[in-house]
Structure 1
Amino acid sequence: MHRIAALCLLGCISVPAQIQYIESRKVWLLSTSNSAYAMGVGADGALRHLYWGAPIWRAEDLAGAPVRRDISSFDPRQMLEAEEFPGWGGPRYYEPALKIAREDGNRDLVLRYASHRIQQNDLDIVLKDINDPIEVTLHYRVYPEHGILRRSATIRNGTARTVTVESAQSATWNLPPGEGYQLTYLTGRWAAETQVNHEPIHEGQKVIESRKGHTSHNFNPWFAIDAGDAGEEHGSVWFGALGWSGNWRMAIEQTPYRQVRVTGGLNSFDFSYPLKPGETLETPPFYGGFSSAGFGPASRMMHRFTREQILPGGAESRLRPVLYNSWEATTFAVNEQGQRELAAKAAKLGVELFVMDDGWFGARNNDRAGLGDWTVNPKKFPEGLKGLIDHVHSLKMDFGLWVEPEMVNADSDLYRAHPDWVINFPGRPRSELRTQMILNLARNDVKEYVFGFLDKLATENDIRYYKWDMNRSFSEPGWPEVAGTEQRKIWVQYVRNVYEIIDRLRAKHPKLEIESCSGGGGRVDLGILQRVDEVWPSDNTDAFDRLRIQEGFSMAYPAKIMSAWVTDVPNMNTRSTPLGFRFLTAMQGALGIGSNLNKFTEQDSALAASMVATYKRIRATVQTGDLYRIASPRSSDVTVNEYVGADGRQAVVFAMRHSQEYNTAAPTIRLRGLDERAVYKLESVNNKLVERQGQFSGAYLMNAGINVNLRGDFDATAIVLERQ
């Protein structure tokens, strides 16, 4: 038996190794603090899934991987077995993890165990085809303290001829056989992203995906499956998230034999990836975990994991600053004097980062021209950006800049010089969405151009922050400069080069921070989050709509990365909400202000400054604490979210009333995550507590609860708890 040494703690309690292997049975057990995952090699050499769920600590308890018998000629044994990474070959009629084609048309692929390697918390298992030297290395990494398992695969062509990969998934996740499972996933559209969906899983297949070249607003690459009876704080939940910012796909299927599995990775739509002899293809990481106590712990696991293991800087990354963005105040009518005036007003509110949005470059006076010409407009900024940046710094704020590096307008010097640089099919119309086209970043010369101007801007100016936007999806995804058989690699190479540009920028400019934006939440996933500091969840900043968007976002992603702005009313959907309600909605993420400060009254400015000061007091709790979703905007006229600080010393409760029926009682809020025996001092930021503002035990607050005096539509409060 191979086993990493167990620890003997007080009382000599044995802590299981993260990765155990029993040679005699050829089984592996991967353990985290709250889950276990097991697989084994059958007598026929196939790698089969054995277990995924609550902790089991003895690998010796696992039976070897069984080889079943055929039920009928229509139901061969392969359809009854839970293969860990099935190739498309033999009588396998479910979703394959890998499908290939050889030059002679042979597409059969049957994978068998060849070898493995364990190194600390990493496990590599090598599978090989039964005839050809086509090799797949399955990569597993255990994050024991976070309860997360990372999976991916590397496909290698060891033959002497080209092999074309037609479908390359990152992992197949098998659940315990059974019925009654429920699927939770996130859907949406522009301005209405991350809407929570919950539905039964039936026989057949459910697909969520993006074919748009980026993560997309329509589906997010995250799933959760429960046993049919889970809630926020009870029940078994299996969950996963894909780290990829291009075309992706997840297939959730249930077989007639009660097997439920999720297979996900690169989208096989319009996919073809030829591998010459010796070449490899690595699939994106697919992260998974298990909660025995509901959706709340599942989200909190993902939040902590993302903050500490995914984001640049990990647990050491700084808290997100309060920012101001100039877009709504000026749109394209940008000039130095106007930006100076806005910066001065923002600084008085306590803003820490001033971001100048679109309109500062080229002939950018509207959305029909200028994209691609990333030089400062000399009419708007005669002395360049330095004067404005120095002014912003004198106000004790950092300076940020909006860019859209992947796009070009037809009316631009760049496009006139390089019309071949855009994604296109020769001789076919080039679709312009928002009057712009997409530069082909799969090309190395285009990649170097984009890196070059971003690097030059950051080198010549003291820029702390890029707001990186992407305001359209792919169309006509041609790459005419390469052979026809190679062109569909664009779906993968484009994303890889976006990643490379950001990685190089951050390496050269270590203080530079980046926000990912794609017309709102069109590029939010664990792949881009390895490279950026926050994301823009939606272009819709209506405070009521945002409650639903932010709830769905919180299922998968932490508040620290969720940029949330206070903007003017009426909003794009014509709704008007009070300024205090708008602030309290935005204070549940990374607070920003996008309002036209030139229109603020003295009362508006005073309230805004007070709210910013309150946010700074609770910022660490919101951005790095544990989130408890107490009341949902999907099922209640009140939304209640509670954040408990990592050290337990502070908690904050946001209670948001959307609407009120006549003579309805103030809601009672029973808190969670507190220390029962501790005493907490309560304070409402706007005196909405029905109880006296005093001290209460954690037991009282969680069992009896508190009442808030919310009356009328869009009334809200935040209650700060300090442990005594």
Structure 2
Amino acid sequence: MPAVTRTTCAGRPAWLLRTARNAMLLSVADGGGLVLDHWGGDGGGLGDGLGGDSYLPHTPWNRPSQAHFLDGVPLAYSTYGDRVYKEPGLVVAREDGTSVSRLTWREDRIEDDVLTLVFEDAGLVVEHRFAVLADHGIVVRDVRVCNQGPSPLRVERVASAVLGLPPARYDSWTLHGRWGDEYQLTRRELAAGKVVIDSRRGFTSHEANPWFALTRAGEDGPVWFGALAWSGNWSIVFETERNDALHVVAGINPFDSAWHLEPGEDFRTPSLACGYTENGLDEAARVLHRYQRDHVLPARHRHTPPPVHYNTWLATAFDVEVEHQIALATQAAELGVELFVVDDGWFGARNDDHAGLGDWTVDPAKFPRGLDQLVDEVHRLGMRFGIWLEPEMVNPDSDLFRAHPDWVLHLPDREPTMSRNQLVLNFAREDVREGVLSRLRALLTDHRIDFVKWDHNRPYTEVGWPQAPHERRREVWVRHVRGVYEVIGRLRAEFPDLMIETCAGGGGRVDLGILGLTDMAQVSDNTDPGDRLRMQHGFSRAYAPRAMVGWVADTPEPTTGRITPLDFRFHVAMQGVLGISGDILRWSEDDRKQARELITEYKRLRPTIQDGDQHWLVVPSDNEPCAVQYVSRDCRVAVVFVYQVRGVAGEGPRRIRLRGLDADRLYRRDSDGVVTTGAALMAVGLSSAFPPPPPPGHTEDWRSRVELWQAVEETR
């Protein structure tokens, strides 16, 4: 059956979108509203098969005269001007000051599993796009607003998507936190009224993330979920109506933002990837992971495993010196590292965070023979070479700012607010984009740089663009983000083999927008493995393990001061893309030997970890066992990490049941040759117990192990 078909629903024009996992049924209500008649499981009888019955809930009216109002009806979009009082997805102001639009359906277009529905009102044309990825169970939505009238329009709000669910009690699942404590999975019971999660900081933020999941209250069965591809201000509104129908509006945050449309101009929103599964949050995460691996992450490196990397920050901070860097690189290569990354401090007058940002030229005092002395040595050692950049920022104490003080986001009558002694360059301006691009292009052309860590260390304040025409000034929030995307995209086109990591003070900028341009993402500046277990669990509800960077740092941990074993730190960092920092020159020979063995082990497990399906068998907690499993796409290989976090005396071992295996196949454990069936591993499972710790001085705290199970040729 095709992914998109025309049909009818209760006599109204309708469209059925089908994937391997679910279906959406859309229709046009009397008067032009776009209705989401159904979003969920596909029983095979949607549309005409209902014999004219409607999926719409029978909503009690406030009074009979409001019979044609759409309150309480699940909508696929809401416009200010509809017969409805719920959160609007679209608000457009006209030249006469009015902002009421009454859209009517004009036409549909179906091409290559993409449905476009076109609505109009007196020169305002709105196109809703639904791209169906049938094999992945994902529908990607966006909206295009066009001005085909004779006068300018001002788009004051345009959401990427509106999603309506029928009356029930719902829980929302979202990701919240702060610097050093990002990606905490948060459940909230939705009651009457609105719940808003958003960012107004200019970028995705540490405090919240533009991903959500919805379940029926208290259940972990059916899940509706979505992830927004936008790295600027964003907003997701959950509104529970009087009949318990749920109305969700997701897109660019309308805070302080508007878009001017001259006749003939248009505006397209970022996309929202949305899906449904019957099998809980863990399965919803795997659906998103597969979608990202196959359709979001940059195609150039999509099928190449991200390298094991070493980053110099925790070993040197700003104290960069070429001979010391070469010594670190030599040791990193001996450990089996594949990529050596020089972090902050290599450029300009950069001896601390007060100066140098924007001056992307090599400091001759730190590299008297030029950067290539280090670059060439890293390549000779068999590793790739990477470097740290923060291209969107500038220190006032820099040659760039002294030459172009007007290049920053600013207001002429306001004192700028410093954060980390830096200001934000205005990427809405073409001259800023071209100036930054020329400096980065020169750096990448003059040196064989294989990898860039692209950082971003402050929120935005005094967000002004005084050089722009008055009617365009509130476009700066959106144009800045688009400008960042443009610069990264042009760099990738000019240097196609370049790999890029997104970092924003740790995990402050991760979303489907930036992941479409970068290969991996930092989760947090906090490297404490106990804290990272919780953060990585939350991160992986929304984002694929192959994009998740983990760091093995020194102990005591730089952020928390906690002491943890080296193998525990490695096993936590091995859940995604393995990175190492810290002063490896000070590690003991025993630690180096263990690190070499663990890196070798990780490389063997890496294909399954980065390209397989992830299952959280036991979620992290403060003092109990935790386990996560990865299964290859063909179900022949399983990798299981088991952790004991801050063990408590007297607690007995738990059974950890595996998932996603072939029940009829035999599997052999790599460590001891034990053979058992997939059915037994899923029904009985493994023990969380660890052998007694070797003396002296060891405790049951912070224990971990990794098990590799591989299918054998025989079956039961």
Is TM more than 0.5 here? yes
User: Which moved further from structure 2: 78-87 or 491-500?
Assistant: 78-87
AA at the equivalent of 2:186: N
Q: Which moved more, 1:65-74 or 1:551-560?
A: 65-74
Contact 1:230 / 1:237 at 8 angstroms: preserved in 2? no
User: Where does residue 78 of structure 1 map in the other structure?
Assistant: 70
Counterpart Cα distance in 1 of 2:49 and 2:508: 45
Q: Quick check: 1:191 aligned with 2:175?
A: no
Is residue 174 of structure 1 aligned with residue 164 of structure 2? yes
Separation of aligned partners in 1, 2:215 and 2:647 = 33
Cα deviation 1:271-292 (Å, max 9, x = unaligned) = 1211111111111101100011
Residue 541 in 1 paired to residue 527 in 2? Answer: yes
Aligned residues: 696
Q: Is the 8 A contact 2:169 2:244 kept in 1?
A: no
Alignment partner, residue 145 of structure 2:
155
Q: Which amino acid aligns with 1:200?
A: E
Q: 2:96 aligns with which of 68, 82, 104?
A: 104
> Residue 705 of structure 1 aligns to which amino acid in structure 2?
G
Secondary structure in structure 1 of the residue aligned to 2:44:
coil
How far off its partner does 1:634 sit? 3.5
Alignment of 1:588-607 (within 5 A): 588-607=575-594
Q: Aligned partner of 2:321: which letter?
A: N
Correspondence 1:324-403 to 2 at 5 A: 324-403=310-389
Deviations 1:514-533 (A, max 9, x none): 00000011110000111110
Alpha-carbon shift at residue 74 of structure 1 (Å): 7.6
- Give the Cα separation in 2 of the matches to 1:149 and 1:315: 24
Letter in 2 for 1:26: P
| In 1, Cα distance between equivalents of 2:621 and 2:470 | 48
Unmatched 5+ stretches in structure 2 = 693-699
Counterpart AA for 1:445: D
Matches of 1:74 and 1:20, distance apart in 2: 32
Give the C-alpha shift of residue 69 in structure 1: 8.9
Tell me how far 1:64 sits from its aligned partner. 7.4
* 2:74 and 2:163 in contact (8 A); partners too: no
State the match for 1:696 in structure 2. 676
Contact map agreement 2:300 2:497 (CA 8 A) in 1? no
User: Could you report, residue by residue, the CA deviation over 1:388-444 in whole angstroms, capped at 9, with x for unpaired residues?
Assistant: 111001111000000000010011111111111110000211111000000111100
Distance 1:550 1:576 in 2: 19
**How many Å separate the matches in 2 of 1:315 and 1:322?**
14
Deviations 1:196-248 (A, max 9, x none): 001211111100001011000111000000112433xxx10000000000000
| Aligned-pair CA distance for 1:387 | 1.4
8 Å CA contact 1:564, 1:591 repeated in 2: yes
Worse overlay, 59-68 or 489-498: 59-68
Q: Which residue of 2 aligns with 1:616?
A: 603
Q: Which amino acid aligns with 2:156?
A: E
Q: CA deviation at 1:626?
A: 0.6
How big is the shift at 1:68?
8.0
TM-aligned CA deviation for residue 314 of structure 1 = 7.3
CA RMSD of aligned residues (A): 1.7
Q: What's the CA shift for 1:502? A: 0.9
The answer to whether structure 1 residue 117 and structure 2 residue 105 are counterparts is: no
Checking the alignment, whether the CA contact within 8 Å between 1:350 and 1:613 is kept in structure 2 is: yes
Q: What is the aligned partner in structure 1 of residue 81 from structure 2? A: 89
Deviations 1:315-336 (A, max 9, x none): 8431110000011111111121
In structure 2, the partner of 1:718 is: 706
Structure 1 counterpart SS, 2:512: coil
One-letter amino acid of the counterpart of residue 450, structure 1: V
Alignment of 1:666-685 (within 5 A): 666-684=653-671
SS at match of 2:438: helix
**CA offsets per residue over residues 78-131 of structure 1, 9 Å max, x none?**
2133332211015422110100111211111111111110002111100112xx
Letter matched to residue 138 of structure 1: H
Amino acid at match of 2:689: N
Distance (Å, rounded) in 2 between the aligned partners of 1:199 and 1:43: 35
| Alignment-mate amino acid for residue 682 of structure 2 | M
What is the match of residue 295 of structure 2? 309
Give the TM-score, by structure 2 length: 0.95
Task: Give the Cα separation in 1 of the matches to 2:362 and 2:189.
Answer: 54
1:43 paired residue number: 30
CA change 1:362–1:278 in 2 (3 A) is same
Q: Is 1:633–2:613 an aligned residue pair?
A: no
Matched residue SS, 2:707? strand
Structure 1 residues 672, 445: closer, same or farther in 2, change over 3 A? Answer: same
| 1:665 positional shift | 2.0
Kept in 2: contact 1:167–1:272 (CA 8 A): yes
Q: Which residue of 2 aligns with 1:10?
A: none
Tell me, in whole angstroms, the C-alpha distance in 2 between the residues paired with 1:465 and 1:273: 35
TM-score, normalised to structure 1, is 0.94
Picking from 409, 419, 429, the partner of 2:415 is 429
Gap change, CA 1:270 and 1:316, over 3 Å in 2: closer
1:200 to 184, 189, 194: 189
Q: Which secondary structure does the structure 2 equivalent of 1:164 belong to?
A: strand
Residues in 2 aligned to 1:378 and 1:78: alpha-carbon distance in whole angstroms: 68
- Equivalent position SS for 1:78: coil
Alpha-carbon contact 1:254-1:260 (below 8 Å) kept? yes
Aligned twin of 2:48: 60
Asked if 2 retains the 8 angstrom alpha-carbon contact of 1:220 and 1:525, the reply is: yes
Partner of 1:127: 119
Partner in structure 1 of residue 441 of structure 2: 455
Q: Does 1:136 align with 2:116?
A: no
Distance 1:257 1:635, change over 3 A: farther
Percent of residue pairs bearing the same amino acid type = 42
**CA offset digits 1:144-167 (Å, max 9, x no partner):** 000000000001112211111111
C-alpha separation in 1, matches of 2:707 and 2:27:
51
Structure 1 residue ranges without an equivalent (≥5):
1-15, 685-691
Q: Whole-Å Cα distance in 2 between the matches of residues 379 and 249 of structure 1?
A: 46
Q: Is the 8 A contact 1:307 1:314 kept in 2?
A: no
Question: Does the Cα contact within 8 Å between 1:26 and 1:64 map onto a contact in 2?
Answer: no
The 2-side partners of 1:556 and 1:68 are apart by 34
Letter in 2 for 1:651: A
Whole-angstrom CA distance in 2 between matches of 1:663 and 1:256: 50
Looking at structure 2, the residues matched to 582 and 601 of structure 1 have their Cα atoms a distance apart, in angstroms, of: 16
**Structure 2 Cα separation of the partners of residues 515 and 282 of structure 1:** 26
Shift of 1:60: 2.3
Matched ranges for 1:209-248 at <5 A: 209-231=198-220, 235-248=221-234
C-alpha contact (below 8 Å) 2:69/2:84 kept by paired residues: no
Q: 1:385 to 1:314 in 2, by over 3 A?
A: closer
Deviation, 1:666, is 2.4
1:647 match: secondary structure: coil
- Residues 623 and 646 of structure 2 are in contact (CA less than 8 Å); yes or no, is this contact kept in structure 1? no
**What is the CA distance between 1:76 and its match in structure 2?**
6.3
Question: Is the 2:33–2:82 Cα contact (8 Å) retained in structure 1?
Answer: no
1:545-580 superposed Cα distances (whole Å, 9 cap, x missing partner): 000000000101111000101001112111111111
CA contact (8 A) 1:195 1:549 kept: yes
Cα gap change, 1:80 to 1:180, in 2 (>3 Å): closer
CA distance in 1, matches of 2:67, 2:323: 74
